Amino acid sequence: MGTNVYQEHSLDGITQSYQTIIKDLMKDVEVLKTSLEERERDLEEAEVDIDLLNQQISSLYEQLIVNEDGFNAAIDVLFRLSNFRDSLFNMNDLRILTSFSLYEVQGEDLYMLGEQGTTETPIHINVNDPSYAHYLSIKLFHSDRTIEYATSDREGRTVASYLLKLPSQRVLIYNFHYDSTNQSVRGIIDSKEMYRFIRIICIHLEERGLLHKEGGRHANEA
């Protein structure tokens, strides 16, 4: 009986027992390591998903603000249109959502009728002048479309153009000038409602004699 006790507590027996325990612990460590790596991948994927969700939330919030600003501007303009005697109603009411420029098509020439918030906008453009061939208004003139998009000469800026035909047979080109990163604006510009809204404002401006051919006058004087 004493021999058995000795063998149970011998150095070799104790060493072997510890080696077995260490092997088991190493297996547990590998299992934990694998589990942690999987959780880390899950966390990384979760962070990517969270970033995407934050981007979507930011985009939706930006679109909400743009829509709110646009609708508020629309309501304000429509209210002023209802009062024919409102002397404050003018070309600046065409600034909806973004900076703008407005041209009238006369033959093969475009004459600026008004603008707000743009820079270096020519008051007269001949559609055959090669120096203006890259202008979106010229591209729209030569196309059979009613709306076109293009990147502006100014970095980070985009231009969207409407071709507007008024009941009086006058033909206008309305240009939106806006930040290229603002994708929510494009969705609004694409809508038929915005096209109709800009067109009706131009009709009201013409009826009140506010669509002056200032560009044409300056061009003739030059």
Q: Are 8 and 114 contained in the same domain?
A: no
- Whether 170 has a pLDDT exceeding 90, the answer reads yes
- Indicate whether 80 and 128 sit together in one domain: no
Listed residues 87, 115, 130: the one ending a domain: 87
For the chain, what is the domain count? 2
Q: What are the Cα distances from residue 39, in Å, to 43, 45, 53, 77, 199? A: 6, 10, 20, 56, 57
Last residue of a domain, one of 56, 87, 118: 87
Considering the domain architecture, whether residues 31 and 131 belong to the same structural domain is answered as no
Question: Mean pLDDT for the chain?
Answer: 75
pLDDT, one tens digit per residue, over 17-74 is 767 777 777 777 777 777 777 777 767 776 666 566 556 555 555 655 555 666 666 6
Whole-number Å distance between alpha carbons of 60 and 54: 10
Regarding whether 124 and 76 lie in a shared domain, the answer is: no
User: Are residues 156 and 81 part of one domain?
Assistant: no
Between 192 and 107, where is the model more confident? Answer: 107
Task: Supply the pLDDT for residue 214.
Answer: 62
More confident residue, 77 or 37: 37
Q: What is the pLDDT of residue 215?
A: 46
Q: Return the CATH number at 145.
A: 3.30.450
- Cα angle 67, 136, 130 (rounded to 5 degrees) comes to 165
Domain end position, chosen among 87, 103, 131: 87
Residue 221 pLDDT? 32
Confidence of residue 220 (pLDDT cuts 50, 70, 90): very low
Residues 118 and 205 in one domain: yes
Average pLDDT (133-160) is 83
Shared domain for 217 and 192, answered yes or no, is yes
Please state, in angstroms and rounded to a whole number, the distance separating the CA atoms of residues 154 and 176: 14
pLDDT score at 81:
61
- Output Rg (C-alpha) for the chain, integer angstroms: 35
Does 27 lie in the same domain as 15?
A: yes
- Report the pLDDT value the prediction gives residue 124, as an integer from 0 to 100: 92
- Give the per-residue pLDDT at 181: 74
Q: For residue 106, what pLDDT band results from cuts at 50, 70 and 90?
A: very high
For 194, the domain range is: 91-221
d(CA 7, CA 14) in angstroms, rounded, equals 9
* pLDDT single digits (tens) 173-210: 999 988 877 777 777 888 887 888 888 889 888 888 88
DSSP letters, 132-157, are GTT-HHHHHHHSS-SEEEEE-SSTTE
